[in-house]
Structure formats: structure tokens, C-alpha cells
């Protein structure tokens, strides 16, 4: 994402929220201003630890109560 007059107000809000999230999570200055919100979010996701997937099992959870992604 490039900064400048072509940035929409929506893009500006997303970038401001990404910068605020970075400050909350890491208590440090976010990446340089030339980096867009997508890059900031990508950097945050890369810093997350790898976790294993654990399947949820419950006698109270029925298949009909779950929302699944639509298949294409």
C-alpha cells in the first residue's frame, strides 16, 4: 500500500488501526511509515508462534450447530 493522496479514508483507518495494534502487541515503534497496513499485519502474523491444531470434541456440539465455509 502506498501512502499519499491516492489513499482512501478506509485505507487510512486500516493503517492507523494496524499501527495501533502493533504498539499494543509489541510495545515498540511500528515499522517505517513507508510500510503499509498489509505489510504491518503480515509482520505481526509472522511473529506469532507455531501452534498445533487441536480438534474440538464435545458431546454438546452437534454438526448442525457449526458453521462451515461454503465449498466452491
Mean pLDDT by groups of 10 residues along the chain of 72 residues: 66 88 89 74 84 70 71 66
Determine the pLDDT at residue 52.
Answer: 72
Buried b / exposed e over 3-37, threshold 16 CB at 10 Å, is eeeeeeeebeebbeebbeebeeeeeeebeeeebbb
Determine the pLDDT at residue 2.
Answer: 47
Q: Is 72 exposed, middle or buried (0-12, 13-18, 19+ CB in 10 A)?
A: exposed
16 belongs to a structural domain: yes
Domain that holds residue 43: 1-48
Tally of structural domains, the chain: 1
**What separation in angstroms does the CA of 12 have from each of 6, 7, 17?**
10, 7, 9
pTM: 0.54
Task: Evaluate whether 18 touches 41 at the Cβ level (below 8 Å).
Answer: yes
11 belongs to a structural domain: yes
Determine the pLDDT at residue 27.
Answer: 92
Amino acid at each position: 500500500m502506498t501512502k499519499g493522496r491516492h489513499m482512501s479514508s478506509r485505507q487510512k483507518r486500516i493503517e492507523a488501526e494496524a499501527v495501533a495494534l502493533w504498539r499494543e502487541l509489541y510495545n515498540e515503534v511500528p515499522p517505517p511509515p513507508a510500510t503499509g497496513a498489509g505489510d504491518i499485519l503480515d509482520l505481526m502474523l509472522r511473529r506469532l508462534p507455531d501452534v498445533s491444531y487441536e480438534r474440538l470434541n464435545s458431546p454438546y456440539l452437534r454438526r448442525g450447530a457449526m458453521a462451515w465455509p461454503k465449498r466452491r
